[in-house]
Structure 1
Amino acid sequence: MASREPLDHVVAGSGPGLVLIHGTGADATSNWEALIDAMRDRYTVVAPNLPGAGDTPVDPGPIDLDSLADRVAATARAAGLERFHLVGHSLGSVVATAVAARHADAVTSLVLHAGWVRTGPREAFMFDLWARLLRTDPALLARQLILTAMGPGLLGTLDDAQFADMAAGFTAMLDERILGQMELDARIDLRDAVGRVTAPTLVLASADDLVIPPHHQRELAAAIHRADLLQVPGGHGLPFEDPARFFSLIAEYVDRRQAQDGA
């Protein structure tokens, strides 16, 4: 039976609950550190590490999305949260959608960046390429990720040395422990779940996203009853290429929903 134990996580601050779920290959700190610091003065912020990230062990078999969603909810409860705002990036958006569908009473609001409803053949082909490169040449995977995950606004400003530094940084982050996350990416199907999401939702799409293009976010927003769609400039890696703008959009939405929820 799949584990329902809490995930390794970062917790900071006090106040209403805010749960942040990272994307493939990142972890709680690398994806969310600046937002945690910005929100901890008014929220209890909980950022789980998905299997293979932080101190959360790799799952022994394929990651089960429903079980992972239950573990996120268990992590929030272990941190003292019965209700919480929920934010996800990329795979984190997929997991957050599953949490909101399975634990609707616990989710105050939902913010989804670079999410998708169902993995198509193009995306499955891409995720398989990621896994093959990770097993054989992580440095090449790092280069491929830079060119597809970062938007043209950032890439157009980099010189040779900056590209080399970024490639080195990406390569250092890549570890075969995340292969299970990539395998999960390749078989996402939330078509039965999205209709059960009841929380007010902001779906964020990056206009230049080459990993999960904006048509996926349009589909996601259309499938969630109380969803608004906002498209912004940038690539899939918006939390890393323009963290100030990305995190300000999240903070503004969460603060507005909290004010309405607490009224």
Structure 2
Amino acid sequence: MPRTGLRISGGDAVVEYDITGTGPGLVLVHGTGAGREQWLPLTEAVADRFTVVAPDCSGSGGTTDHGGPVTLADLADEVLAAANDAGLDTFHLVGHSLGAAIATHLAGTHPGRVRSLVLHAGWAHTDTRLDAEFRYWLELLSADAAHGTSLFARMLPLTAFGPGYWARTDAAANEELVQGLTGMLAPGTARQTETDRTVDLRPLLGRITAPTLVLASAHDRIIAPEQQQALLAGIPKARYAEIDAGHGAPAEDPAGFAARITAFLDEQPTTPAETVTVH
């Protein structure tokens, strides 16, 4: 698996990432508690025409670091390091939740590198209400670590999935999902949640030059609509779309989620100089 090292604010990090496909660069950034595997359905849908780079951020998967607090800038630097190591000069950029915040930061600080931007379930800044959400997550994670419970995983379907999930599931299937989520959560979920609490992207929004899709979930119980509207108002070339799902649309409706993003990516122009082939 490709890896690349860099210096972040607390020490050294080694970022592990997947690289798949051929064509213009496409970088995918996962959400809190997830990892690069989150992007497999989208990668499969576009690898015939994009070079897809999907890194693990600090706290997830095969990426290693100093083990302390990480900033949003640190995580953006990790994503950029993976893109650089993969040989991508410019690239399309997609982020989900925390990944959307990371992608927004990267696009605002390195606008010349980002050809287009998709932000799903992103937010402009962590206000009092959102901080209360993240503090609750931290309390659940702390209780789980202390007592071997699955409180955080049990909360996730309630807050992250929309009515479509509940209409097609039953108690046994939901319980199976909870147990699966318990085993899948990244070991650094609490560290990433602490980073969630620090987000304030408002000074960077106007610096983003890439065409941007602000993709909201119609049934998002975590990110308020006002946060999506702030992104839309602050990013100069932004447009809005919704998917009929909850905050966790990549897991709730992976095919529909991939289709929305693929349609936007396929609208973007390609030049031969920006094509990369992976062997």
Q: Same fold (TM over 0.5)?
A: yes
Give aligned-pair identity as a percent. Answer: 46
Q: What is the SS of the residue equivalent to 2:215?
A: strand
Q: Which string of whole-angstrom CA distances, capped at 9 and with x for unpartnered residues, describes residues 110-166 of structure 1?
A: 000000000111111111111111121251111111100001111122111111111
Contact 2:92/2:115 (CA < 8 Å) preserved in 1? yes
Residue equivalent to 1:140: 151
User: How far apart in 2 are the matches of 1:106 and 1:15?
Assistant: 16
Residue equivalent to 2:30: 22
User: How far apart in 1 are the matches of 2:270 and 2:39?
Assistant: 23
User: How far apart in 1 are the matches of 2:226 and 2:79?
Assistant: 27
> Which residue identity is paired with 2:120?
H
Residue equivalent to 1:162: 173
More strand by share: 2
List aligned pairs for 1:46-57, cutoff 5 A: 46-57=53-64
User: How far apart in 2 are the matches of 1:20 and 1:123?
Assistant: 24
Give the TM-score of the pair, scaled to structure 2: 0.89
Listed as ranges, the gaps of 5+ residues in structure 1 are none
Output the aligned Cα RMSD: 1.9
Q: What is the SS of the residue equivalent to 2:75?
A: helix
Q: Which has the higher contact order (CA 8 A, sep 6+)?
A: 2
User: How far apart in 1 are the matches of 2:65 and 2:120?
Assistant: 24
Q: What is the SS of the residue equivalent to 1:15?
A: strand
Give the TM-score of the pair, scaled to structure 1: 0.94
Residue equivalent to 1:125: 132
Residue equivalent to 1:174: 185
Residue equivalent to 2:227: 216
Q: What is the SS of the residue equivalent to 2:260?
A: helix
Deviation of residue 215 (structure 1)?
2.1
Equivalent position to 2:238, from 227, 231, 237: 227
> Which residue identity is paired with 1:22?
H
List aligned pairs for 1:29-178, cutoff 5 A: 29=37, 31-137=38-144, 138-178=149-189
Q: What is the SS of the residue equivalent to 1:209?
A: coil
Residue equivalent to 2:258: 247
Equivalent position to 1:7, from 5, 8, 15: 15
> Which residue identity is paired with 2:101?
V
Deviation of residue 67 (structure 1)?
2.7
User: How far apart in 1 are the matches of 2:153 and 2:132?
Assistant: 17
Deviation of residue 62 (structure 1)?
1.8
Q: What is the SS of the residue equivalent to 1:247?
A: helix
Contact 2:13/2:65 (CA < 8 Å) preserved in 1? no
Contact 1:109/1:200 (CA < 8 Å) preserved in 2? yes
Residue equivalent to 2:4: none
Contact 1:73/1:103 (CA < 8 Å) preserved in 2? no
Structure 1 window deviating more from structure 2 (168-177 vs 34-43): it is: 168-177
> Which residue identity is paired with 1:220?
L
Residue equivalent to 1:256: 267
Residue equivalent to 2:249: 238
In the alignment of these two chains, the number of paired residues is 262
> Which residue identity is paired with 1:158?
T
User: How far apart in 1 are the matches of 2:101 and 2:12?
Assistant: 18
Contact 2:98/2:196 (CA < 8 Å) preserved in 1? yes
1:186 is aligned to 2:193: no
User: How far apart in 1 are the matches of 2:66 and 2:163?
Assistant: 36
Structure 1 window deviating more from structure 2 (54-63 vs 120-129): it is: 54-63
